[in-house]
Amino acid sequence: MNTRSIIAVAVPVRAKLKDYHQLAKTRLTFTVVLSAVFGFLLAAGAGTSYADLCALAIGGFLVVASSNGLNQIIERNYDKLMHRTNNRPVATNRMSVQEAFVFCAISGIAGVFILTSYLNQLSGILGLFALLSYAFIYTPLKRVSSIAVFAGAFPGAVPPLLGWVAATGTIDSAAWVLFAIQFIWQFPHFWSIAWILDEDYRRAGYRLLPSKNGKDKRTVQLTLWYIASLIPTTAMMYFLGITGWISLIISTLAGVAFLYQGWKFYKSCSTADAKKLMFYSIIYNPLVLLVFILDKV
């Protein structure tokens, strides 16, 4: 095969791989899996099994990739209407619904199988719950009501809980605190994004901000309430004896800084401060989980 023939084959292969990268949302999937890995490391401590950790990462990645792909299949006609999503492979017909569904089915089944077989049954159940609730409850609700954000927070809060369960096989009080932290964190994170992209979301008929009036003080008041709730929730890891006083101080300071960013957003109700809040939320979550791991008692 000559050089020209090799290039002719390589170009469509590279384009197809890029489409699967978009379908799986690999960067987002990586961040989700990272929170599961952090939950696992926090639970396992010095007794970490790297084989189990790899099974969690691979199985979790496949489940999240499947969820993201199903989301794009269901929303393909609405993705065409938004600037942010109008170049997705299913929306543009570069990839057929059948092809995308086969990918989602194989990756979803494989992911749940790995979590169940190589870790424990409860891990598989949590992975399946997250996949089905994200794709078939949260996704269709987005065009119905802002309650979709609440519904989506449940599968969104599973990863650190799944990591803990993968390491221990049980759901105890510490696991529920991790779930609660991730659950609460999603509201300021997602509402700041929804504020920034409100006009784009409205093109597709999505109703994601909590206030009926959309971008108003009520929305930011609720955002502040959830940020403030993170401070006592993260402190529970110390009071349960899971982490030490260093992580208590750092997580509290991080929460106060988060709240300050939220207050600035409340005062201005500007897109610029919504972006700052969004970026801070991206830093906050892994920072707190990492501090918990380093300061485990």
Q: Over the stretch 233-290, which tens digit does the pLDDT of each residue have?
A: 999 999 999 999 999 999 999 999 999 999 999 999 999 999 999 999 999 999 999 9
Q: How far apart are CA 259 and CA 276, in angstroms?
A: 12
For 243, phi then psi, to 5°, come to -125, 170
pLDDT score recorded for residue 2:
55
What is the reported pTM?
A: 0.92
On average, the pLDDT of the chain sits at: 93
pLDDT tens per residue across span 159-174: 999 999 999 999 999 9
If we measure between CA atoms, which residue out of 19, 114, 110 comes closest to residue 72? Answer: 19
Which residue matches tokens 């993201």? Answer: 68
Burial of residue 68 (CB within 10 Å: 0-12, 13-18, 19+) is buried
83 beta partners: none
What confidence category does residue 7 fall into, taking pLDDT thresholds of 50, 70 and 90? very low
Q: Is the pLDDT of residue 6 over 50?
A: no
Do 18-170 and 172-297 share a fold? no
In 3-state terms, what secondary structure has residue 217?
helix
| Dihedral of alpha carbons 21, 56, 159, 32, sign | negative
Write down the residue that tokens 């469509």 correspond to: 12
Q: What CA–CA distance (Å, rounded) separates 203 from 51?
A: 45
Domain ranges across the chain: 18-170, 172-297
Q: Which CATH superfamily is domain 18-170 in?
A: UbiA prenyltransferase (1.10.357.140)
Just give the CATH number of 172-297.
1.20.120.1780
Q: Which residues contact 80 (CB under 8 A, 6 or more apart)?
A: 86, 91, 92
